[in-house]
Amino acid sequence: MEKRLIKKDALAGIAKKMADDFLVWTPVKKEDNILFEPLQKGAEPFFAYLNSKNAPKNVFFPHTESMMKYTRTEKGMVFSADENKADESVLFGVRPCDAHSFVLLDKLFDQEKHKDGYYIAKRQKTTVISLACVKPPYASCFCTSVDGEPVSSDGADILLSDIGSGYLAEFITPKGEKLTKYFGDDKADAAADTKKSEVAAKAKAAITSKIPAHEVKPILDKNFDNPFWNTIHGKCLACGTCTYLCPTCHCFDISDEVKGSDGVRIRSWDSCMFPMFTKETSGHNPRPSQKERWRQRTMHKFKYYVDNFNSIACVGCGRCVMYCPVNIDIRKIVEDISKL
């Protein structure tokens, strides 16, 4: 594996140099938020961040994207599919939990049957550069409970780890290796590896929030009707913040927008927290209250995804914990389930 050492203040310069050649997504400061956005000429990336407010899943699965366009003619409508085209791009500086989410989303969007070309095209054209959490950013981080680690190359093509004297850049995949030239010629030695192992172990130990995520699957298998499900949703506002910010939530709506003779079919993020999500034309709703919606969200992450893809659909980023306006805490829900 190719490895390089780079200076601490070199990150922004590397990102900017790459931005001359392709589309580069970096964390940028926008008012009070850190968001991943395409780096514009003259703009500064912001790497001294904890984690971005939104999960960067929008790089592959935008909030809203066009699936096809159509035009009304005298004979009816003429379609033109939006080609599954994507530009060569780099996602620079994502946290390992969010990079882990891409591996999980791949399982859904890139299945053997029914491939989702819109997602796959962007994913294939994008090189993911992870920025390890040598200091876990939040008290609510729990990646180590859901198959993650604060210093991990899971889902990354290049991993950058702060080893004190500078960053160790590891080129994990052939896709990552293609970008070696942007990282200078300072090859990393064995001492850098040792140092990285040290910071990784220290970072891992610093994640103190733990949940029994792997223990609840057999309990969920048997407790669909448990009265416990009455206890979560009482204060839920059905705002959908948890699903909007979640790196692994992938539900979407498909709708049509028309202007004159031209129309576009778009898909937009949707949420299992919304009453309309499953409401049928007849008025029947298989998930009639917030109780069933919370059961769905919990089951989907800790049982259904495990049944279908052998992975828990949670990366422990803690966004839903931090930003829920009524402090519903998925960690407590999982904890409670483990005691059923």
Interface with another protein by CB under 8 A: which residues?
67-68, 70, 72, 75-79, 81, 84, 108-109, 111, 114-118, 224, 250-256, 258, 263, 265, 267, 270, 272, 277-282, 286-287, 292, 296, 299-300, 303-304, 307-308
Shortest distance, CB of residue 242 to another protein, whole angstroms? 14
- Asked if 142 and 211 count as a contact pair (C-beta separation under 8 A), the reply is yes
Query: Measured from the CB atom, is 13 or 288 closer to another protein?
Result: 288
Shortest distance, CB of residue 172 to another protein, whole angstroms? 27
Shortest distance, CB of residue 65 to another protein, whole angstroms? 11
DSSP letter for each residue of 6-41: E-GGGHHHHHHHHHHHSEEEEEEEETTEEEEEEPPT
Query: How many Å apart are CA 243 and CA 305, to the nearest integer?
Result: 15
Shortest distance, CB of residue 212 to another protein, whole angstroms? 21
Query: Measured from the CB atom, is 42 or 260 closer to another protein?
Result: 260
Cα of first residue to Cα of last residue in the chain, in angstroms, is 46
Give the tokens for residue 244: 């909007």
Shortest distance, CB of residue 75 to another protein, whole angstroms? 6
Query: How many Å apart are CA 317 and CA 310, to the nearest integer?
Result: 20
Query: Measured from the CB atom, is 111 or 327 closer to another protein?
Result: 111
- Asked if 256 and 263 count as a contact pair (C-beta separation under 8 A), the reply is yes
Give the tokens for residue 303: 């049982």
Query: Measured from the CB atom, is 50 or 121 closer to another protein?
Result: 121
User: Which element (helix H / strand E) includes 113?
Assistant: none
Shortest distance, CB of residue 95 to another protein, whole angstroms? 24
Give the tokens for residue 28: 């940028």
Query: Measured from the CB atom, is 158 or 312 closer to another protein?
Result: 312
3-state secondary structure of 193: helix
Shortest distance, CB of residue 168 to another protein, whole angstroms? 37
Give the tokens for residue 274: 């919304």
Query: Measured from the CB atom, is 177 or 292 closer to another protein?
Result: 292
The alpha carbon of residue 12 and the mean position of all alpha carbons in its chain are separated, in whole angstroms, by: 22
Query: How many Å apart are CA 227 and CA 336, to the nearest integer?
Result: 12
Shortest distance, CB of residue 68 to another protein, whole angstroms? 6
Query: Measured from the CB atom, is 194 or 268 closer to another protein?
Result: 268
Query: Measured from the CB atom, is 144 or 271 closer to another protein?
Result: 271
CA distances from 255 to 64, 260, 266, 283 (A): 10, 16, 6, 20
The alpha carbon of residue 144 and the mean position of all alpha carbons in its chain are separated, in whole angstroms, by: 16
